[in-house]
Amino acid sequence: MSDLIYEVKDKIATITLNRPDKLNAFTGPMLDAWVKSLEEAQADPSVNVVVVTGSGRAFCSGGDVGRMGDAAPSALDHKNSLWQGVHRVPRQLEAMDKPVIAMVNGLAVGAGMGMCLICDVRIASSEARFSTGYVRVGLVPGDGDTFFLPRLVGPAKALELLWTADFIEAPQALQLGIVNRVVPPGELPEATYAFACQVADNAGSTKCVQINGAGKGEGQSCQFANECADGMMCIGATNDFRCRL
């Protein structure tokens, strides 16, 4: 069985991390497959939405630290392994102009939590748990945590979570704004795909500009946001607009 499963159905691409015995900790080949799946979803005109999830009781526990320890690389090797390896996934996620939804079925730790934060929307099981995790294994955040977490919870709370690596239960994650919705475990797939279908059925081109506009507008002035909207009004010349008149 593959360590990563890619499927497309009803305009929705699903990427499932599939190492349940290792809490879906990712390896080099998994990263290769993850990037390839994201590129495929981006290029496929039949895909309007991407859902990322994990099999078993974890979403993703980050990188396979055991394998990292065996390699004993130099400091430069560590740096290059991030940029040339792990960071390819966050870079591809951030570059996506199709909505990406994290269906958080369980544990999300370290880079696993970071990958969640980079997704546009996060829907979590009530049994999901989150932790930045890095300080527990003597590492520093390297997967978007230091960029996205402060924007969701504020700088002070983000520092607290990064420094302590405390576990955050799903209800608290909802309260902090880390996730958008929390549902019972048995209802997670239905709730996630109902939302994904709703998004997929709406106008495709407008989702692209909304993602770009919301991302670029972070920390900018209202005037900047309005200028972005002005530039995006060309959407009115597309079939996505005309077919809804």
**Spatial contact of 140 and 91, defined as CB atoms under 8 Å apart:** no
Residue type, 217: G
| Mean pLDDT, rounded, of the chain | 81
Question: Going by DSSP bridges, is the β-strand pair 168-169/129-131 parallel, antiparallel, or unpaired?
Answer: antiparallel
Per-residue model confidence (pLDDT) at position 167 = 96
Dist CA 102 CA 119 (whole Å): 6
Per-residue model confidence (pLDDT) at position 124 = 99
How do the pLDDT tens digits run along the chain, 245 residues long? 799 999 999 999 999 999 999 999 988 899 999 999 999 999 999 999 999 999 999 999 987 655 544 444 554 444 445 445 577 888 888 888 899 999 999 999 998 999 999 999 999 999 999 999 877 767 766 666 788 899 999 999 999 999 999 999 999 999 999 999 999 999 999 999 999 999 998 855 555 555 555 554 555 554 544 454 455 455 445 555 445 44
Per-residue model confidence (pLDDT) at position 146 = 81
**Residues whose CB is less than 8 angstroms from the CB of residue 178 and which lie 6 or more positions away in sequence, other chains included:** 116, 117, 122, 130, 149, 152, 153, 168
- Nearest residue to 133 via CA among 106, 104, 168: 168
- HEC secondary structure over the chain: CCCEEEEEECCEEEEEECCHHHCCCECHHHHHHHHHHHHHHHHCCCCCEEEEEECCCEEECCECHHHHHHHCCCHHHHHHHHHHHHCHHHHHHHHCCCCEEEEECCEEECHHHHHHHHCCEEEEECCCEEECCHHHHCCCCCCCHHHHHHHHHCHHHHHHHHHHCCCEEHHHHHHHCCCCEEECHHHHHHHHHHHHHHHHHCCHHHHHHHHHHHHHHCCCCHHHHHHHHHHHHHHHHCHHHHCCC
